[in-house]
Structure 1
Amino acid sequence: MQVSPQRFRFLLDWRGGGLPWLSTPAIILGVLLICFPFVLVDVPPLIDVPGHMGAAAIEAAGPDSPLGKYLGWKWVFTLNIGGDVLMKVLGGWLGVLAAGWWSTVLATGLFAGGCLATVRVANARGGHGAPWALMWVFSFPLLTGFLNYILGTGLSLCAFAAAMALEHRPRDRAGLLVVAQPLAMLCHAIGGLLLAVMVGANAFGRELDNLPAGWWRPSRWRTVIATHDWKAAAGRLIVLCWPLLATVLTIVLWKLFSPEPARSLNAWRWEQKGVFLGITLRDQSFALDVITTAAAYILLLGGFWLGGRWNWQRGLPGLCVLILYVIIPSDINGSAFVDVRLLPPAMMLLLGLQDWSGARPRVARAVAYAGLVLLGLRTVVTAASFVDYADDYRQQLSALEHIEPGARILTFVEHSCLEEAWRNTRRDHLASLASVYRQAWVNDNWAVPGLHMVVPRFRPARNFAADPSEFVWSRRCASGRLRSIDSALRFAPVERVDYVWLIDTGLPRNPDPRLRLVWQQGRSLLFAVRPLGLPKWQARDL
């Protein structure tokens, strides 16, 4: 079968048919600039990424690896494996560390590129809000390191842009969507679901725009119902939406063949939904992040008076994702923060697809240039922070030089809270790199059955085998009501491990006499364990 290059002419149109920052070279440059901070680091300083690397090390562990005694790996059919599969594919060529780095960069590039591609296809002449939309790439989901979600959402945005560009080629469009939906959902259920939501909302929005002006007035309903060609409208919707059955089929297959999750509690955290409206751009500077967030909301809510508009086709996708953010549970089957991950793509769509082509040219240009300046400033701050995080990671990981390969390490890390600092330390899962560098066991792995593939074999105690057993909090968080390092050590199975690694916790008030300090860096400490009354060679067999 010969494929005509004309079918993909929209990919070769370097000018983009509209604004200069939406041309193909500008989009490529924008994606490269967004990804530039990763060039400055070996381990991406995103909270969960070291955990993904540790999981990849467990998967790649050979039969002679000490990790095999402590942890197993079982591939299961679940809608949360995009990053794991990508690291598996890349790890055979590059190694675990490089595979983790490249996986993070590729996911970020898809996220940013999908955002700009969507704006270019749907709003080529009015996409002056594209820089504002791009600011939401480095937001809560990416900074937290939700790699599977970012990868799935990036694929969904790219596929959505391609589907809109191929609307006049129904066969090509249907083939694209039928393939893209299962791939995106296998990366992450919610990230993949966004593709069906966006495509369906875009199709319904088009039909709403085809209705006569003022159709929403009750006085016109009878006339609209009598005169509108509903049969033709239904036919167009069927053509545009039937490929979305691939999402339904993927969910059915997942329900049939995926193991039942250990936890099925669904919880709505309404306070969390409200708080994250203000903190989803939380990064390094309280002032910069608050100003950016407030300016973005002002642009959305006040843009109408400046000439920014949406029609239904452009506005409904973002509105539907925002509604999904409000109604979806916060926790599903052991996965937390499910809802707040949706706010950034909703803001991307609403800001990027706000049409400024009807505004005064001077106003539209001011919106675009203000966004470019603010985006540039945030990118510089992000890049500088990556250098600081890389230096901090090197200092923290120097503890591994004092750990024997194949050891058992009980880890406690102080979890960041807003009461203490706006800037997150991003050390939450740093201990997982001990599995990469030392083939060591740590109590930091994600191991929810039916959701993750890691299978703990060594369980020193019931509540100290996997995440979140590693977390402790400062006494300044929640007025000291949360678990502190002293209360954690009081019940910890110290006698069953070789080392206790305290990351940014400070020295306990009542140190255990079985712990011998072998390394210290600031508030981080590493202790070797020698149970009282037993020789070291017997202690290692406990």
Structure 2
Amino acid sequence: MMIGKKVVPLSCAALLILLAAVPMLVVTVPGASDYPNHLARHHIFAAIGQGTALDRYFIVDWRWVGNLGVDLPVLALSSWLGVEPATRIVSALIAPLTVAGILLLSRSAHGRVTGGAMLALPFAFAQPFLFGFLNYCLSVALALLVAAAWYAKRPGSLHAALAFGLGAIAVWTAHIMGWAILLFLVASAELAMVRSWRDLVHRALRAAPLILPIVPLLVWHAEGGGRLFWYAPHLLQAKAMNFVTALKGLSMPFDLAITASICLGAILAFLWAGGRRLEPRLAAGGGLLLFATLVLPTTVLGSWGADLRLAPVAMMVTIMAIRPAPRPERERLLIMLGASLFVLRAGWTSVHWWQADRALQKRLVLLDEVPRGSRLGFLSAEAGCDNWTLTPNRKLGAYAITRRDAFGNTLFQIPGSDVMTIRQPPDRARWFDGSQDIPVHCPEGAPDRHALGERMRSMAQADFNALWIAGIDSKSVPRLPGYAIVYSRGIDTLLIKQASEPPEPGSIPRPQSAIRWMGAGP
């Protein structure tokens, strides 16, 4: 690869790519927030129809939808490796593929890997990755790779056109938003080079294979449903914060410092680029992605956080558009800055997750006491008052699905966009992601005990035969008639339903209002 006026050995690019895999590979319980839910889904996919208790709780209706990124490769590998190792290995490929996509796209557009591309590398560990949007993040990586191939060599034959069409279908299958990003990148590349109306028509026809996913898209949404579009309240503030929090997830000072350093480096790169030049195709792509981030609803086709997910990609492509400085020493300085920030970002993500992994593994020992095939209600007050750090704590209950074939109430539901659904209508209407959250009073960080008591009663009435209360000192967990504490350590308490017995002193009463709450909807 060309950097500045020197050829950088492939070993250097390979080292950066390998480093991106480290955070997922050094832990047993990855720290991405939604990771436990993805893992549970993969276990359901592998176990459904095999005669386990999961057949009573879930339905899998295999359809071709634009949200299967890590699901399909994990399903292919799980019979050989097991679900947990397969999910971790496939997830570990996402950041390396993203890094490879950035480097290759820069080389295709500029003829070399630039300082701007190096500054964009930390976005491989942006907020969507730490949030655990695994299908989406894989689709972004694939979109960058297909776009790099397009920038390097547009289709000049039927075979090339077919290859790009299949690439677009692969990106769409991973996640529909990745396909949209690919279309933005290719459309901007072609529009930036248009010289006449005839040229515009010719370029549009050449890009036609990339719209092949429109066929499965139409089939999918003819069968699906759900809320298609929704804007978050306080829209202007939310849009601004999408960019400020592009690297959110580890700690506020660290993440904001990395973001500020990237922006400062980008400004320097722009000023030093010699006439303040931008590569027109990437500049147009970055501009389109920035505009899309500003106008895109919060929820698109049932997928929450659409604009939040797009912001880091828009920043990444815009920074990559900056052409290399004419003076090699300046370009080398930017390259060193970008590489240092990437190593720092990857290293701190690895350390942060590794430290949390030891505690998470100890907490999951509780699952040994959960009856196999039971209905486990998970309640979490661990969010506290820190809305910045992203952890899997709110979704830990999903490990009961993976390790005990139990029913859990943390899985996300995307009507019309999901091949896995909860079987029983009452469970499907109420017991999904969000039902586990217990409000916390800030700034003192104390959980709302009234809300906790009502939710425990509701779960008992909904026939959950085990309750895991997380994030609350075990001594503070209220007693529940008919349930006995079988595990109590630190901030985790497990209650198991027992045979009928008289209420214990200090137990939670069952007021009529609790029964009414059960019928009120989520």
8 Å Cα contact 2:269/2:325 also seen in 1: no
8 Å Cα contact 2:482/2:501 also seen in 1:
no
Letter in 2 for 1:260: G
The answer to whether 1:116 aligns with 2:84 is: no
Check the 8 A contact 2:116/2:266 in 1, yes or no: no
Q: What displacement does 1:280 show?
A: 2.1
**CA displacement at 1:188 relative to structure 2:** 0.7
Q: Give per-residue Cα distances to partners, 1:183-234, cap 9 Å, x unaligned.
A: 2111111112111111111111123xxxxxxxxxxxxxxxxxxxxx625533
Equivalent-residue separation in structure 2 for 1:431 and 1:120 (angstroms): 44
Cα 1:532/1:189, change in 2 over 3 Å? same
Name 2:224's counterpart in structure 1.
260
The aligned residue for residue 343 of structure 1 is 311
Query: Kindly tell me: are residues 22 and 137 of structure 1, through their superposed partners in 2, closer, same or farther at Cα, counting changes over 3 Å?
Result: farther
Offset at 1:180? 1.0
Given that residues 35 and 132 in structure 2 are in contact (C-alpha distance below 8 angstroms), is that contact kept between their aligned partners in structure 1? yes
Q: Equivalents in 2 of 1:89, 1:292: separation in Å?
A: 37
Cα distance change of structure 1 residues 522 and 182 upon mapping to structure 2, 3 Å threshold: same
Q: Kindly report which structure 2 residues correspond to 1:289-308, keeping only aligned pairs within 5 A, or say none.
A: 289-301=255-267, 303-307=269-273
Q: Identity of paired residues, percent?
A: 23
Residues 38-437 of structure 1 aligned to structure 2 (within 5 Å): 38-61=24-47, 62-125=49-112, 127-167=114-154, 169-207=156-194, 230-231=196-197, 233-234=199-200, 236-238=202-204, 240-256=206-222, 259-269=223-233, 270=235, 271-301=237-267, 303-307=269-273, 309-358=277-326, 360-414=327-381, 416=383, 419-420=385-386, 422-437=388-403
TM-score by length of 2: 0.87
More displaced 10-residue stretch of structure 1: 164-173 or 68-77: 164-173
Render the CA deviation track for 1:275-306: whole Å, top value 9, x for unaligned: 22112212333222111111222334554333
1:254 partner letter: W
Does structure 2 retain, via aligned residues, the 8 Å contact 1:76–1:450? Answer: no
CA distance in 2, matches of 1:479, 1:238: 56
1:521 has 2:521 as partner: no
Q: Tell me the alpha carbon deviations over residues 359-404 of structure 1, each in whole angstroms, 9 at most, x when there is no partner.
A: x333222221122222222222111112112112201211011112
CA contact (8 A) 1:460 1:497 kept: no
Deviation at 1:487, TM superposition (A): 4.3
Kept after mapping to 1: 8 A contact 2:109/2:279? no
- For residues 233-258 of structure 1, give each alpha carbon's deviation from its aligned partner in whole angstroms, at most 9, with x where no partner exists: 335523542323324444334334xx
Given the superposition, is the C-alpha separation of residues 364 and 50 from structure 1 closer, same or farther in structure 2, using an over 3 Å criterion? same
Residue equivalent to 1:210: none
How far apart, CA to CA, are the structure 1 residues paired with 2:108 and 2:170?
22
| 2:438 counterpart letter in structure 1 | V
Query: Are the equivalent residues in 1 in contact too, given 2:299–2:306 (CA < 8 A)?
Result: yes
Tell me the CA shift for residue 428 of structure 1: 2.2
The 1:264/1:230 distance shift into structure 2, 3 A limit, reads: closer
1:465-513 superposed Cα distances (whole Å, 9 cap, x missing partner): 3222122232227999999534433533356122100122445564323
Count of paired positions: 496
Q: Is the 8 A contact 2:409 2:431 kept in 1?
A: yes
The aligned amino acid for 2:494 is L
The alignment partner of 1:448 has SS state of: coil
In structure 1, distance between residues paired with 2:501 and 2:10: 70
Give ranges in structure 2 of 5+ residues lacking alignment. Answer: 504-522
| C-alpha displacement of 1:318 | 1.5
- Root-mean-square deviation (CA, aligned residues, Å) is 2.8
Q: Residues 149-170 of structure 1, C-alpha deviation per residue, up to 9 Å, x if partnerless?
A: 0111111111111111123745
TM-aligned CA deviation for residue 356 of structure 1: 1.9
1:374-523 equivalences in 2 (<5 Å):
374-414=341-381, 416=383, 419-420=385-386, 422-458=388-424, 464-476=430-442, 484-494=451-461, 496-507=463-474, 508=476, 510-523=478-491
Indicate the SS of the match to 2:305: coil
Shift of 1:310: 0.8
Q: 1:69 to 1:21 in 2, by over 3 A?
A: farther
Distance in 1, matches of 2:173 and 2:78, equals 19
- Structure 1 CA distance for aligned equivalents of residues 287 and 8 of structure 2: 23
Residue in 1 that maps onto 2:516: none
SS at match of 2:115: coil
- The SS at the match of 1:502 is strand
Structure-2 change in CA distance of 1:404 and 1:320 (3 Å): same
Task: Compare 448-457 and 396-405 and name the one that shifted more.
Answer: 448-457
- Are residues 369 and 470 of structure 1, via their aligned partners in 2, closer, same or farther at CA, if it must alter by over 3 Å? same
Offset at residue 327 of structure 1 (A): 0.9
Between the aligned partners of 2:184 and 2:213, the Cα distance in structure 1 is: 10
Look up the SS of the partner of 1:273 in the other structure.
Answer: helix
Amino acid corresponding to residue 379 of structure 2 in structure 1:
F
Counterpart position of 2:11: 25
3-state SS of paired residue (1:304): helix
Q: Distance in 1 between matches of 2:77 and 2:250?
A: 31
In structure 2, do the counterparts of structure 1 residues 326 and 310 end up closer, same or farther at CA, with 3 Å as the change threshold? same
Tell me whether 1:35 sits opposite 2:21 in the alignment.
yes
Q: CA deviation at 1:99?
A: 1.6
Offset, 1:22: 6.2
CA distance in 1, matches of 2:122, 2:7: 15
Q: Aligned equivalents of 2:239 and 2:8: distance in 1?
A: 32
